[in-house]
Chain A
Amino acid sequence: MALSIEDIKKVAHLARIEVSESDAAATLTKLTGILGLIEQMQAVDTTGIEPMSHSQDLSQRLRDDIVTKTNLRDEFQKNAPALGNGSTEPAVAGGLYLVPKVIE
Chain B
Amino acid sequence: MEWEVVIGLETHTQLRTNTKIFSGASIKYGAEPNTQACEVSIALPGVLPVLNKEAVQCAIKFGLAINAHIAPRSVFARKNYFYPDLPKGYQISQFELPVVGKGAVTIQVPAVGKNSAYEKVVNITRAHLEEDAGKSVHGAVEGMSGIDLNRAGTPLLEIVTEPDMRSAAEAVAYAKKLHELVQWIGICDGNMQEGSFRCDVNVSVRPKGTEKLGTRREIKNLNSFKFMTQAIEYETRWQIETLEDGGTIQQATVLFNPDTGETRSMRSKEEANDYRYFPDPDLLPLVISEADKDAVRATMPELPEAMKARFEAEYALSSYDSNALTTSRDLANYFVATVDAGADAKQSANWVMGILAAKLNAADTSIIDSPINAQQLAQLLRRIGDNTISNNAAKQVFEALWNAEGSVDDIIAAKGLKQESDSGAIEAIIDEVLAANAAMVDEFKAGKEKAFNALVGQAMKASKGKANPAQVNDILKKKLS
List A residues at the B interface (Cβ < 8 Å).
14, 16, 53-54, 58-69, 71-73, 76-77, 93-104
Q: How far is the CA of A93 from the CA of B145 in the complex (A)?
A: 10
Give the nearest-CB partner of A96 in chain B: B146
In the bound complex, residues from chain B placing their C-beta under 8 Å from that of A104 are 255, 266-269
* Contact present for B26 and A59 (CB under 8 Å): no
How close is B256's CB to chain A, nearest CB, in angstroms? 12
In residues 77-117 of chain B, which contact A (Cβ within 8 Å)?
A: 82-85
- Contact call B35/A98, Cβ cutoff below 8 A: no
- Find out whether the CB atom of A96 lies under 8 angstroms from the CB atom of B274: no
B71 at the interface (CB under 8 A from A): no
Cα A28 to Cα B24 with chains together (Å):
44
B138 neighbours in A (Cβ, 8 Å): 101-102
- Tell whether, in the assembled complex, residue A62 and residue B53 are in contact, meaning their CB atoms are under 8 Å apart: yes
Distance in angstroms between the alpha carbons of A61 and B283 in the assembled complex: 9
Residue of B26, B54, B84, B146 with most partner-chain A CB within 10 A: B146
Chain A neighbourhood of B149, CB < 8 A: 97
CB pair A96 B140 closer than 8 Å: yes
Structural contact, B268 and A60, CB atoms closer than 8 A: no
Check B283 against A96 for contact (C-beta < 8 Å). Answer: no
A96 & B137 in contact (Cβ 8 Å cutoff): yes
**Can you list, as one digit per residue, whether each of B12-28 has a CB less than 8 Å from chain A (1) or not (0)?**
00000111000111100
When C-beta atoms are compared, the residue in chain A nearest to B80 turns out to be A14
Is B281 interfacial (CB 8 A cutoff)? Answer: yes
Q: Is the Cβ of B35 less than 8 Å from the Cβ of A66?
A: no
Instruction: Say whether, besides A72-B38, A96-B146, A102-B145, A53 and B279 are in contact (CB < 8 Å).
Output: yes
Given contact pairs A69-B26, A72-B38, A76-B44, enumerate 18 new A-B contacts (beta carbons under 8 Å): A53-B75, A62-B53, A62-B56, A63-B51, A63-B52, A64-B53, A69-B23, A72-B39, A93-B141, A97-B149, A98-B146, A99-B147, A100-B143, A102-B84, A102-B85, A102-B145, A104-B255, A104-B266
Do residues A63 and B53 form an inter-chain contact, with CB atoms below 8 A? Answer: yes
- Which B residues lie within 8 Å of A100 (CB)? 143-145
Say whether B36 faces chain A, with CB atoms less than 8 Å apart. Answer: yes
CA distance A71 to B83 in the complex (A): 24
Q: Which residues of A contact B42 (CB under 8 A)?
A: 76
Sort chain B's interface into a size bin: 35 or more
- Is there contact, CB below 8 Å, between A62 and B34? no
> Which residues of chain A come closer than 8 Å to B453, judged between CB atoms?
none
B136 within 8 A of A: yes
Which residues on A sit within 8 Å (CB–CB) of B356? Answer: none
1/0 per position for B311-350, CB-CB distance to A under 8 A?
A: 0000000000000000000000000000000000000000
Q: Is B226 an interface residue (CB 8 A)?
A: no
Partner of B25, one of A61, A69, A99: A69
Set of chain B residues within 8 Å of A14, measured between Cβ atoms: 274, 276
Kindly list chain A residues whose C-beta atoms are within 8 Å of the C-beta of B144: 93, 98-101
Given A60-B285, A66-B19, A76-B39; A103-B267 close (CB under 8 Å) = yes
In the complex, what residues of A have CB within 8 A of residue B50's CB? 61, 63
Cα–Cα, bound, A25→B477 (Å): 107
Q: In the assembled complex, which residues on chain B have CB atoms less than 8 Å from the CB atom of A95?
A: 32-35, 148
A9 to chain B, nearest CB (A): 12
Alpha-carbon distance A51/B54, docked complex (angstroms): 29
Roughly how many angstroms separate A66 CA and B34 CA in the complex, as a whole number? 19
Contacts A/B (CB < 8 Å), 19 sampled: A60-B76, A60-B287, A65-B17, A65-B54, A66-B24, A67-B18, A67-B19, A67-B25, A76-B39, A93-B146, A95-B148, A97-B147, A98-B145, A99-B84, A100-B144, A101-B143, A101-B145, A102-B136, A103-B267
In the complex, A102 Cα to B84 Cα: how many Å?
8
Chain B residues with CB under 8 A of A73: 34-35, 37
Question: Which residue of chain A has its CB nearest to the CB of B145?
Answer: A102
B52 touches A65 (CB 8 A): yes
State whether A53 touches B145 (Cβ < 8 A).
no
Residues of A with C-beta under 8 A to B136: 102
| B475 CB within 8 Å of chain A | no
CA distance A98 to B145 in the complex (A): 6
Residues of A within 8 A of B56 (CB): 62
* Contact present for A60 and B35 (CB under 8 Å): no
Give the residues in chain B near A77, CB-CB below 8 Å. Answer: 34
Say whether B36 contacts A71, CB under 8 Å.
yes
Q: In the complex, are the beta carbons of A103 and B19 less than 8 A apart?
A: no
**Complex CA–CA separation, A99 to B148 (angstroms):** 11
Chain A residues closer than 8 Å to B83, beta-carbon distance? 102
User: Quick check: A59 and B284 within 8 Å, CB to CB?
Assistant: yes
Give which listed residue, A71, A93, A101, A103, contacts B35 with CB less than 8 A.
A71
Interface: B429 (CB within 8 A) = no
A41 and B42 CA atoms in complex are apart in Å by 37
Pairwise interchain contact B84-A97, C-beta atoms closer than 8 A: yes
Query: Which residues from chain A contact B141 at a C-beta distance below 8 Å?
Result: 93, 98
Q: Is B286 an interface residue (CB 8 A)?
A: yes
The minimal Cβ–Cβ distance linking B44 to chain A, given in whole angstroms, is 7
Which residues of chain B have C-beta atoms less than 8 A from A63's C-beta? Answer: 24, 50-53
In the assembled complex, how far is the CB of residue A50 from the closest CB belonging to chain B, in whole angstroms? 12
Q: Which of B36, B85, B144, B285 neighbours the largest number of chain A CB atoms within 10 Å of its CB?
A: B144
Tell me if B51 and A62 are in contact (CB < 8 A).
yes
Chain B residues positioned under 8 Å from A101 (CB to CB): 138, 143-145
Tell me if B32 and A65 are in contact (CB < 8 A).
no
